[in-house]
Amino acid sequence: MIHIDVFPYPPPVLPCAGKTVVVIDVLRASSTIVTALANGCRAIIPVEDAEAAQAMKTRYPDALLCGERDGLKIRGFDLGNSPFEYESAKIAGKELILTTTNGTHAARLADDAGAVLVASFLNFQAMIEHLKSVEGEIIILCAGNDRQFSLEDALCGGLLAGHLYNEAENCRLTDAAEWARHAANSLLGKAHPLSVEVIYPLLHQSEHGRKLFELHFENDIRHCARLNVFAQVPLLKQGKFII
């Protein structure tokens, strides 16, 4: 039996001991983590802030410092948080230390979980296939925006809960997951099947989408709206996301 719960934004404390937590930060941390691992980086170490990143760097001197604040690369870091910066030539075989405003915070909230995975639209179906083999409690954790609700993460989370409910056997949704499923479907309206053409306008109109557009990251929004480009499901092992 699979039980699915959805947190539309991060709670102060996440009750996740022994559970499987799926972290979603469509714009852009999840999309960047999935893209970077698919492009060959060895591992991604999520940390809370720039200070923690510098401290982790002393343990992993060869690792790249990566991350954003207010959408822009942190001063003195090697890479920001645009998935386009994570090309194989720059990151293949390397370990990355990553801090972002919402995505890595959400990942660290799940420290007590039995398993922590990363989902986005880029690896959507791969995540569903993976979760079908999971038994027990699944928490879909939307990273949100500054600990508040974000449309893009709730859309992805609601659709993930809905698709898993339709495709997996013995699946039970909590009220929050049921709500998220219906809200996501009504946002799509008649726009089916799911595709980048359907997802992109919704990401573009979201609060964070508008901010990224103002910062000239329109191509990032389009990349993060692409569906099922990668078959990888990042998993946290000893504090590092690997595939």
- Judged by the rule CB under 6 A, the positions of this chain that interact with ligand MLT are 25, 27-29, 68, 71, 81, 100-103, 143
Coil, helix or strand at residue 184:
helix
Write down the least CB distance from residue 108 to ligand MLT, Å: 12
Question: Cβ closer to ligand MLT: 144 or 158?
Answer: 144
Question: Cβ closer to ligand MLT: 35 or 81?
Answer: 81
Question: Cβ closer to ligand MLT: 197 or 214?
Answer: 214
Angstrom distance (rounded) from CA 240 to CA 32: 15
Q: What is the DSSP string of 38-54?
A: HTT-SEEEE-SSHHHHH
Write down the least CB distance from residue 59 to ligand MLT, Å: 23
DSSP 231: -
Under 8 Å between Cβ of 53 and 65: yes
Question: Cβ closer to ligand MLT: 103 or 162?
Answer: 103
Write down the least CB distance from residue 48 to ligand MLT, Å: 11
Angstrom distance (rounded) from CA 243 to CA 225: 21
The two three-digit tokens of residue 206, written as one number: 């979201």
Under 8 Å between Cβ of 21 and 113: yes
Write down the least CB distance from residue 33 to ligand MLT, Å: 9
Question: Cβ closer to ligand MLT: 20 or 30?
Answer: 30
Write down the least CB distance from residue 141 to ligand MLT, Å: 13
Give the CB-side neighbour count of residue 158, counting CA atoms within 13 A: 23
| Residue with smallest beta-carbon separation from ligand MLT | 100
Coil, helix or strand at residue 221:
helix
Under 8 Å between Cβ of 32 and 84: no
Question: Cβ closer to ligand MLT: 68 or 137?
Answer: 68
Note if the bond before 28 is cis, omega within 30 degrees: yes
Write down the least CB distance from residue 67 to ligand MLT, Å: 9
